[in-house]
Amino acid sequence: MKTCNRNKLLALAGIGLLIGVRMIAEDRVRYPLSGRVAVITGGSRGLGLVIARHLAAKGVNLVICSRSKDQLDAAQQELTALGAQVLALQCDVTDQSQVNKLVAAAINRYGKIDILINNAGTIQVGPVNVMTEREYEEAMNVHFWGPLYTTLATLPHFRAQQEGRIINIASIGGKIAVPHLLPYCASKFALVGLSEGLATELKKENILVSTITPSLMRTGSPRNITVKGDHEKEYAWFKTAASFPLISEEPQKVARKIIGALEFNNIRPSISRAERVASITKEVAPEVLDFVFSQINRFLPKNGTDGYVSKSGYESESRLSSNKIARGADSDAVLNNEL
């Protein structure tokens, strides 16, 4: 009995020592953020804007881009009021020439780029039978080609200064396929593969690449998604799910974890409860996830009378999407410049 207790004490002491050593090591290798320059695609609204707010508080100089001038202007005013230096530029990340100009403008303004955050995104919701090649192309252009273009444009600069940080905002949908989100999931799977491959190859050059796979977030983004199929019902289930606390996350919490991954060089951080549960289940019992999602799919909406027509989320509002849970997305949209 005494030997057993002694072994337990030794084990606890060993764990404590390991934790202490890790904390010291992390403190030594911490990546200081003050004075850095960060480029954030899709930085004018949603998670991108939340990340920009947190980086501004850390003294980071910002470059944000978006296709919407109005949203860019609003985000720039807010971030400037927080004391940040902000360069806001219109840019479509699916256009390589525009991306090259964005990177050149950032370097011209600040003399360098230290951090690239590939955050721009798009979501198409609807059953597979109404999705055409166009939806898959759009998703791949934004989620795969966009991050690839920004990475290729930034890498020569990172190599010249012998360091750099890249944060790729993928999704749990890039690890687990969710019904009625097939173009989104397929493109996010591609981004996860690209990001993890880059991390492996670039680490030797002191260019660290982090792959972020959060679950749904309460940013207010549903109003800007694309909906096909039975528009009102499709929008209602997605908006409700994106607002439901058990399966969605507060963007401020997600942003803090992303900043932590950036500061402590974590290339594959755990972001949310739903992500951890789903990832573990997929590894241990993938057939369980297959069964769960197949059952969920049985209850999702069928095709509507004009199902092939694309509508935005806000065009698909109805009493179904005005339930008590979903209404939280409306206030989140105001908070995070999603209007």
Structural contact between residues 36 and 60, judged by C-beta atoms closer than 8 angstroms:
yes
Q: Which of 63, 43, 59 is nearest to 51 (CA)?
A: 43
3 state DSSP class of 112: coil
| Domains of the chain: residue spans and CATH | 32-335 (3.40.50.720)
What are the start-end ranges of the E strands in 92-199?
115-118, 124-125, 164-169
The active-site residue, picked from 136, 184, 308, 314, is 184
**Token pair for 129:** 């039978």
Q: What Rg do the C-alpha atoms of the chain give, in angstroms?
A: 21
pTM: 0.90
Q: How far apart are the C-alpha atoms of 217 and 241, rounded to whole Å?
A: 9
Q: Are strands 61-66 and 164-169 parallel, antiparallel or unpaired?
A: unpaired
Q: Which of 225, 77, 214 is nearest to 139 (CA)?
A: 225
3 state DSSP class of 49: helix
Structural contact between residues 251 and 46, judged by C-beta atoms closer than 8 angstroms:
yes
**Token pair for 156:** 């020569």
What are the start-end ranges of the E strands in 131-246?
164-169, 207-212, 216-217, 226-227
- Res 228: pLDDT: 97
DSSP state of 314: G
Q: Does 110 qualify as catalytic in the annotation? A: no
Q: How far apart are the C-alpha atoms of 273 and 290, rounded to whole Å?
A: 19
* Alpha-carbon dihedral sign for residues 54, 55, 61, 67: negative
Three-point CA angle 174, 180, 181, nearest 5°: 30
pLDDT in tens, the chain (339 residues): 555 556 556 655 665 565 554 444 444 479 999 999 999 999 999 999 999 999 999 999 999 999 999 999 999 999 999 999 999 999 999 999 999 999 999 999 999 999 999 999 999 999 999 999 999 999 999 999 999 999 999 999 999 999 999 999 999 999 999 999 999 999 999 999 999 999 999 999 999 999 999 999 999 999 999 999 999 999 999 999 999 998 899 999 999 999 999 999 999 898 888 888 888 888 888 999 999 999 999 999 998 788 899 999 999 999 999 999 999 999 999 999 998
Q: Which of 33, 150, 13 is nearest to 95 (CA)?
A: 150
Q: Which of 32, 48, 196 is nearest to 121 (CA)?
A: 48
